Each structure stands twice: as structure tokens, then as C-alpha cells.
Structure 1
Amino acid sequence: MFSLQSAKRMLKYGIIRAGLEVSALSVVRALLPSASGRGLIFTLHHVRPDSPQAFAPNAILSVTPEFLEKAIKAVLEMGMTPVHLHDLPARLADQGDNRTFVAFTLDDGYRNNAQYAAPVFQKFGIPYTIFVAPGLTERSRSMWWETVEALVRQQDKFDFDFGQGTETVAAESLTQKHDAFDRLAAFVHANDEDVAVTRIDAAARQYGINPLAIVDNLVMTKAELKQLVHDDPLAHMGAHTMTHVNLKRVDQTRLENEVRQSISTLQTYTGVSPQSFSFPYGYKSATGQREADAVLATGIPVAVTTQPGVLSKTSLDNIGLLPRVSLNGLFQKKRYVKALASGIPFKLIK
């Protein structure tokens, strides 16, 4: 039995898939050649082999190495020029350069980025940026979305206090598991994030789940980050705050500390100063002009959101809030990459 939330989710993904199918048609792309603008920036998280599971709420954040290779081939076939994200401002400012560009970025510093993504980028000579949050690197901050997935997958029911006292959350059926995950995610986004994450971590520990062990299993260490930068000239490390917090919901002092400390700490890891910044979550309720100003004030030349769109002639006017296009784990088809790179899907949703 589907819940209303599950039905909405299925409808949403159905609409997205339909839009991608239409945009992938060569005749449609031929009708709107200018929709692609000056190119785009891709967002990735995990790059790893498939491990199909019935309950996988974070599947959107994971693509296979094979799909990454298809995505690279797709943009190269479209004549796009791969560049480092931090090189985009100068490229876009060059009025004599009419090429379309593509930049590949990966958030959170997952170990599989070095294990599976880096060899693919190296095969094609593609520069890429990995955004690092030192709180994850140093195992002082958990990843609530991974913790919640582990908790809900393991338990058929669990106790949690959403603010009205402890209650038992049903998580036996697949629908109940998805609803439980969505409810906990909503709890994080509606409350003080530090408090919410602490409460989720405590609940997970009650059921034998160690949130920081999950981080340790998934995220690169300082030594691994330094080694990757040393070994691969295509790799660059960008800043991603200290604690992966929603910057729009913190005060000015916390905002500036999260930004500046993440930049300086990352430089101590690799010996290379970060040249770009990615806002955690990245949607409109997580970043805006105040947050962009705080980043640009440090001298960082470019910062990115997760708000979808292509680059345009006016991108330089908003260099601290550039859009990115997600390579979504639920839509791993080469023709979908070409559809996204065409820019047409973003015309359809306006």
C-alpha cells in the first residue's frame, strides 16, 4: 500500500523521466540549440559499482563508474570543453571564446571518488573538483542522511523523539521505511541542524549503529586527500564548510567561521589553497546572496549551488551562486546526460 508521500515521489520521478526523454530527442534539441548556453557544471557524490537494495533512499546520490564514463563521452560528443570549475570565471569572461564548457564536481569527499571516479577522469584527461567538509574528514561530524538510511534499513521499528516526546516509528514495509526516512529528513530541515543530528546519532547508537563509523567507512582521511592531490594533477579540492551545515540557517559569525575555517583547514590537508566552494544542500533555502558574499569575501573566485541550470552570458554576474546539474543515480542513461547538457529540461521547468 502506497502512502501519499510515496505516491508523490513516484509522480515526481515519473515527470522528471518524461521530461528527460523528450529533451533527449535529437529533433527537440535541434529546435532549441541556444538552450545549452555556455555549458554546465555537474554535481556528483558517490561513484561506485551498483549494489541494488530495495530500500535505498540515497540512491540519487550514487552513480556507477560505467555511467560516469558514458556521461563524459556524451558531453565530449556534444563538443563541450572540460575545464576545472575554478577556471570558469576566466573562460566565461573571454569574449573571444565561444566554446561551451563542462566542469565535473563531487561533494563530500567520499573514498570511492578516488577509487572509482578518479581512474575514469584520468582515462579521459578530465579535470575535477572534490568538495571537502573537514568535520567529515576528521570524523567529528556524522552524515545524518547515511545514518538515517542505516537505521531505517536495519530496524522494523525504532523509538525517536521528534519534539513531542518519544514515539515508536514503524519501518517494517518498504513504504513505511521511505516514509520514516522522509520524516527524519524533514526533522533535520525544520529544526536546529546541530541538535537534530545529535538526536539522530543518539537514536542510531541505541540500535547498535555507530554514525562516525559510517563516515570512517565512506569518507577519505586527510592522508588520502593529500595523496590524491599529489598523485593526480587533474584533481582539485574545494571547500564545503566545516560541518556540512545549512548556511542559510546559521548566524553571521557561524557562517563566516564555517567558510573561512574550511578553506584554511583544507589548505593544511593538501598544501594547496582551495579555489572553489560548494554550499551544502545548495538549494534556495540553504544558500543565498549573504552566503555567496561571505565566500567571495575570502578571495574564492567561484561558488556553486545545487540549483539546476546551465551557464549563460550572465553567469559572471552571479559567480558566487552558480547552478549545477545533478548526475542522478535514478537516471543513469547516456541520452539523459545529453538531454541535461542541452539545457532544455531547465526551459521546461521555468
Structure 2
Amino acid sequence: MQAPGSRLLVLGWHNVEGTWCFPARPEAGLRGLARQLRILRSVANVVPLAAALTDLAAGRPLPPRAVAITFDDGYRDNLTLAAPLLRELELPATCFLVPGFLGRTTRAWWEELASAVATARAPKITWKGRTYRLGTPTERAAAARALSDRLKGYDRAARETAVDELTGLLDPAHGYSVDEHFMDWDEARRLSEHLEIGSHSSHHAILSRESVEQQVADLASARTQLQERLAVDAPVLAYPNGTAADYTANTVSAAGRAGYSHAVTTRRGLNGASTPRYEVRRTVMSPDRGVADLRKLVRDTLAHAVTGK
């Protein structure tokens, strides 16, 4: 049986309002996130992530029903919409940033692909032996999902080549730029005045697809850039994509060598003193997730931890 306060539930969001990859009705994202955060404020104790993970590892108790809030990627609406809401509700949160996005040296490939599919002038494409129909919004959404899943299996260089190939085939009416949705360094500096900053790698490469040397260089460079440009420690890493297939023992070693205290995944579950420091469990959220569902998630998950059932 676990003692009360010995467990931490980590929740993770990405964008607030809709994007090419994550479409939503206008302003629905902010309304949904506001409802979710108010629910968390009422049913949980929201704690800073880095400090909570340090306390867990040291065996120090957390408040009962402890929850940490995180955001990945550095979408601009984390600054313009989420941060003001978090300040209003007096809730701490961590934003995991990608220096390559902030410096405009890395492409947000999933948004670029989704934009190209959504605005494609081609009625269908055939790529690497498969045909993708684009005649209806449903077909376009299915094509975007299927192509994105395929590209996640590539390393960074091959993925960017594939996106260029697909864009040529799709002939989109809209040319996507990372400026559309993502913060730059100046905006990240403003965000760091209010939120804890963590690293999401240098280029958002899916780390298990990269060589050991590339992983070591990527993770070290990401933390160094965040420290130097934002004057933050950036002690926690979030693995891009974050499933069990997206990092390896080599990734864990690279994270330790870069000086990260912990790394978070997108593998659901609770965290306690025995949770591996570089495999912190996290539940991925979206602003359209119902508040009743969120309330049940928090209460049921943390009640399970307290009772040991």
C-alpha cells in the first residue's frame, strides 16, 4: 500500500487552439482548457514538475492528489492563451521547448504535412507504393494520419526528404512556415518569466531513430541553448513523441550525460519513488477532452495510488 502523497500524475498538452494537424472550432480550445484547469484546481494539488520529481526521488511526500501540468513543442498559444490562464488560476506548469523551432532552423514537419494535405490541389497521390485519396475532408484527414504514422518511423534527415517529396506530389495551395504556430526566442523568454522551462530536444527528432552520437549531441545542445538563451536550468527533458518505441537505453544514457535530472514520456501511468528517472509516466491531454472525463481520471487514478488497489 502506498502512503498518501507518494504519487504524482503528470498531464501533458500541446497546442491550445486548433492547428493544421489538430483542427478545432475557433476558440473551443481556450474554453476547453479553461474548464480543464479549473477542474484540476478544484480536485487536485497542482505542483511544479521538476521539484515534485526531485521530492519523489528523494522519498519526500507530495501533497495528496498531486498533479503536474506540462505543454510540449512551444506552440505560440502556450504564451498567449495558456500562460495567462495559468497565472489567473495560480497554477504552475512546465513548457518543453525545441531550440530548433525557436531559432527557425527546424521544421515542424507534422504541421507542414497536415497543411500540405489539407490544401492539396492533387485529388490523390501515390507515394512509396500506396495511394492516398484526397477528394473529401474525411479522406484528407485519413491520409494525413496515415502519412504521419509512416514518417514517424524515419530518422530526421529521411523524414525531411519525405516531406519535400510529399509536398511536391500534393501541390498545396498553402506554404507552411513554423512562424505560423510556434514561439521564437523572444517569446520563449517572455514565457520563461511565468512557466518552468524544460527541453524537448534540439530538433524534435524521434530519438530512437537517430544514431547514438546524434542523440548525445542533440540533447546536450538543446539544454545548453535553453540555459544560455533563456537563463533557465531546464532540468527535465521530454522525449519527442515519447512512446516506448521512441527512446532507448542509449537515449536514457544521453539524457544523463547532458545533465537532465529526469525525462518524461507519453506512457500513461503514475509516478513514485521507484519510477525510473528517465522514464517518467505522463498522460497526453487535449483541450477538447471532457471535464467529467478529466475529473474521473484524476480522482480514480490518484485514489488507486492511495488505496493501493
TM above 0.5: yes
Counterpart residue number, 2:147: 184
Question: Alignment partner for residue 236 of structure 2, among 258, 267, 276?
Answer: 276
CA distance in 1, matches of 2:100, 2:28: 24
Counterpart check, 1:325 vs 2:246: no
Secondary structure of the residue that 1:290 maps to in structure 2?
A: helix
Report how many residues are paired. Answer: 299
Q: Distance in 1 between matches of 2:5 and 2:123?
A: 47
Q: 1:285 to 1:96 in 2, by over 3 A?
A: closer
1:72 aligns with 2:30: no
What amino acid sits opposite 1:319 in the alignment? R
> In structure 2, do the counterparts of structure 1 residues 156 and 343 end up closer, same or farther at CA, with 3 Å as the change threshold?
farther
Q: Is residue 218 of structure 2 the alignment partner of residue 258 of structure 1?
A: yes
TM-superposed CA distance for 1:302, in Å, is 1.5
Is the aligned partner of 1:90 residue 2:54? Answer: yes
After superposition, give the CA deviation of every residue in 1:4-57 in whole Å (9 maximum; x if it has no partner). xxxxxxxxxxxxxxxxxxxxxxxxxxxxx9999723111011113x68xxxx65
1:200 maps to 2:150: no
**C-alpha distance in 1 between matches for 2:248 and 2:153:** 18
SS of corresponding position for 2:250: helix
Q: How does 1:1-350 map to 2 (within 5 A)?
A: 38-48=7-17, 58-59=22-23, 64-78=29-43, 80-92=44-56, 93-97=58-62, 99-155=64-120, 157=122, 162-163=127-128, 169-204=132-167, 206-211=171-176, 213=177, 215-229=178-192, 232=193, 234-315=194-275, 318-331=276-289, 333-344=290-301
Alpha-carbon distance, 1:143 to partner: 1.4
Scaled by the length of structure 2, the TM-score of the pair is 0.85
Do the aligned residues in 2 keep the contact of 1:137 with 1:220 (CA within 8 Å)?
A: yes
Q: Contact 1:39–1:341 at 8 Å: present in 2 too?
A: no
- Residue-by-residue CA offset, 1:137-160 (whole Å, 9 max, x unaligned): 122221121112111111253676
Q: Distance in 2 between matches of 1:190 and 1:95?
A: 40
Q: Between the two proteins, what is the percent identity of the paired residues? A: 21
Q: Is the 8 A contact 2:102 2:188 kept in 1?
A: no
RMSD, matched Cα: 3.0
Q: How much has 1:73 moved relative to structure 2?
A: 2.4
Aligned position for 1:28: none
Equivalent residue of 2:147, what SS? helix
SS at match of 2:51: helix
In the alignment, structure 2 segments of 5+ residues that lack a partner are: 305-309
Aligned to 1:42, what secondary structure does the other structure show?
strand
Gaps of 5+ in 1: 1-32
CA 1:36–1:150 in 2, change beyond 3 Å: closer, same or farther? farther
**How far does residue 344 in structure 1 lie from its aligned partner after superposition?**
4.6
Q: CA deviation at 1:123?
A: 0.7
SS of alignment partner, residue 190 of structure 1: coil
**Larger mean Cα displacement after TM superposition, 111-120 or 181-190:** 181-190
Farther-moved stretch of structure 1 (96-105 vs 84-93): 96-105
Question: Relative to 1, partners in 2 of residues 1:188 and 1:63: Cα closer, same or farther, differing over 3 Å?
Answer: farther
Contact in 2 for aligned 1:57/1:178 (Cα 8 Å): no
Task: Flag the structure with higher helix content.
Answer: 1
Q: How has the CA–CA distance of structure 1 residues 281 and 228 changed in structure 2, closer, same or farther, with 3 Å as cutoff? A: same
Amino acid at match of 1:76: R
Q: Specify whether residues 146 and 96 from structure 1 end up closer, same or farther in structure 2 by C-alpha distance, changes over 3 A only.
A: closer
Distance 2:212 2:198 in 1: 21
What is the letter of the counterpart of residue 298 of structure 1? Answer: A
> TM-score by structure 1 length?
0.76
**Which letter does structure 2 place at the counterpart of 1:291?**
T
Find the residue that maps to 2:64 and give its secondary structure. Answer: coil
Contact 2:121 2:172 in 1 (8 A): no
